[in-house]
């Protein structure tokens, strides 16, 4: 320690080296306390301000969107949600087809993604050997890191042709489902089905990650108790693990729903962008986010822009509610696990 100037020494020197010859202990203590008050107070003020900025930002976002959407909201009122007429030239704007498309594509996505997400989560938390846990979990998690526009690109050039040439004819002709409304009409390719399948891939990592987390929060003793009673591994999962994690898993699925509802680019690229309500999954549709993304750059008159912003406001409200419910459910489980 010849140099004697490591960071810790330098830090300590300021406070301690002056101690012996200084003023009486009481006033030194008072000075130190006063100094710490200034530093601590500044630190508290700054971090509190940054923390308070988060709710403020959410309020700002909400206000900005409602201000932008106000001309449309005040003109159309609730009819905006129920009307299915979206005619820019006639100045008629109804968001029903987009709302319908958003909900249908998200439901398809959840129906397809949930079994695989849940299965992979159970595999990873209960069965996977240690050497497989990391890489498989990593591969699933990485799906969440792929940008939306890359999914869209893959959707346009790989998924849509695959659906058009193989999957759609299979459902319509081979399984003879063409006579039902759900698979009727020509198979263009870009469709509600394509959007749903692509969204399924995109929400899978979210549902899987949350499920894994809540399954892990289930106490070990619960599993051991079930096994000690003679349950098979599957019975243990069905009767002892899943019931305890149920609301968290539902939370994860709703979180995935939130993702699916607001997904923009990938959906815009494969859903077909046609403002019509059709029961057929093979028909093109629209989602709220894709409607905004697709028409914003072409929107020249003010009411058209305001109508798009009103769609955005609707999307904002729906996703806030959905996410709040999801978070609350996930938290209720992980809190229990911590106790």
Partner 1 sequence: MSKSPGFFSAESNRKRRAAANGVMVTLTYVAAAVATLPLIFILFHLIKLGATSINPDFFIRMPQPVGEAGGGMANAIVGTLILISIAAAMGLPIGIGAGLYLADRKGSRLANVVRFLSDVMNGLPSIVMGIFAWELLVVPIGHFSALAGGVALGAMMIPLVTRTTEEMIATVPNTLREAALALGYQKWRTSLGVVLRTAMPGIVTGALVAVARVAGETAPLLFTAFGNHFWSTSLDKPIAALPLQIFTYAISPYDEWHSLAWAGALVLIAMVLVISIAARYVTRSRYGVAAD
- 81 lies in the binding site for partner 1 (CB under 8 A): no
- 110 lies in the binding site for partner 1 (CB under 8 A): no
Tokens of 195: 């959007």
- 336 lies in the binding site for partner 1 (CB under 8 A): no
With tokens 């962008």, the residue in question is 273
Q: Of these, 42, 175, 228, 279, which contacts partner 1 (CB under 8 A)?
A: 42
Q: How far apart are CA 165 and CA 282, in angstroms?
A: 12
- By CB under 8 A, which span of 71-79, 85-93, 155-163, 175-183 interacts with partner 1? 155-163
Q: How far apart are CA 80 and CA 62, in angstroms?
A: 19
**Residue 133 Cβ, how far from partner 1 at the closest point, in Å?**
7
- 145 lies in the binding site for partner 1 (CB under 8 A): yes
Name every residue whose Cβ is closer than 8 Å to that of residue 173 and which is 6 or more positions away in sequence. Answer: none
- 111 lies in the binding site for partner 1 (CB under 8 A): no
Q: Of these, 81, 84, 88, 126, which contacts partner 1 (CB under 8 A)?
A: 126
- By CB under 8 A, which span of 75-83, 90-98, 103-111, 120-128 interacts with partner 1? 120-128
Name every residue whose Cβ is closer than 8 Å to that of residue 333 and which is 6 or more positions away in sequence. Answer: 214, 217, 244, 245, 247, 248, 251
Strands 86-87 and 92-93: antiparallel
User: Segment 179-238, which members bind partner 1 (CB under 8 A)?
Assistant: 201, 204, 208, 232-235, 237-238
- 15 lies in the binding site for partner 1 (CB under 8 A): yes
User: How many residues line the site for partner 1 (CB under 8 A)?
Assistant: 98
Binding mask 273-312 for partner 1 (x = CB under 8 A): ----------------x--xx--xx-----------x--x
Q: What is the DSSP letter of 93?
A: E
What number of other Cβ atoms are within 10 A of residue 88's Cβ?
16
Length of the chain: 339
- 263 lies in the binding site for partner 1 (CB under 8 A): yes
Instruction: Report the b/e string of 42-75 with b at 16+ CB within 10 A.
Output: eeeeeeeeeeeeeeeeeeeeeeebbebbebbbee
Q: Of these, 1, 34, 54, 78, which contacts partner 1 (CB under 8 A)?
A: 54
- 27 lies in the binding site for partner 1 (CB under 8 A): no
- 95 lies in the binding site for partner 1 (CB under 8 A): no
């Amino acid at each position: 320690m010849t140099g004697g100037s490591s960071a810790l020494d330098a830090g300590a020197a300021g406070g301690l080296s002056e101690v012996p010859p200084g003023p009486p202990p009481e006033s030194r203590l008072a000075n130190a306390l006063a100094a710490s008050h200034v530093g601590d107070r500044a630190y508290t003020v700054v971090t509190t301000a940054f923390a308070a900025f988060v709710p403020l930002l959410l309020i700002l976002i909400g206000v900005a969107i409602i201000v932008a959407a106000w001309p449309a909201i005040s003109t159309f009122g609730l009819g905006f949600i129920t009307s299915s007429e979206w005619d820019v030239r006639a100045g008629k704007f109804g968001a029903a087809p987009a709302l319908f498309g958003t909900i249908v594509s998200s439901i398809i996505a959840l129906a397809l993604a949930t079994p695989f997400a849940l299965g992979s989560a159970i595999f990873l938390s209960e069965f996977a050997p240690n050497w497989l846990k990391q890489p498989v979990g990593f591969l699933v998690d990485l799906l969440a890191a792929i940008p939306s526009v890359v999914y869209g690109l893959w959707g346009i050039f790989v998924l849509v042709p695959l659906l058009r040439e193989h999957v759609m004819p299979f459902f319509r002709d081979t399984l003879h489902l063409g006579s039902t409304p759900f698979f009727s009409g020509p198979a263009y390719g870009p469709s509600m089905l394509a959007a749903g399948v692509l969204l399924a891939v995109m929400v899978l990592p979210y549902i899987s990650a949350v499920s894994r987390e809540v399954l892990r929060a289930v106490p070990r003793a619960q599993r051991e108790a079930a096994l000690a009673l003679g349950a098979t591994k599957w019975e243990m999962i069905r009767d002892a693990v899943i019931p305890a994690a149920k609301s968290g898993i539902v939370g994860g699925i709703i979180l995935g729903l939130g993702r699916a509802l607001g997904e923009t680019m990938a959906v815009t690229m494969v859903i077909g962008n046609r403002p019509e309500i059709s029961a057929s999954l093979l028909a093109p549709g629209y989602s709220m986010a894709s409607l905004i993304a697709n028409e914003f750059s072409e929107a020249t008159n003010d009411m058209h822009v305001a109508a798009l912003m009103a769609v955005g406001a609707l999307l904002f409200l729906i996703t806030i509610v959905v996410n709040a419910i999801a978070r609350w459910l996930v938290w209720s489980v992980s809190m229990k696990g911590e106790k």
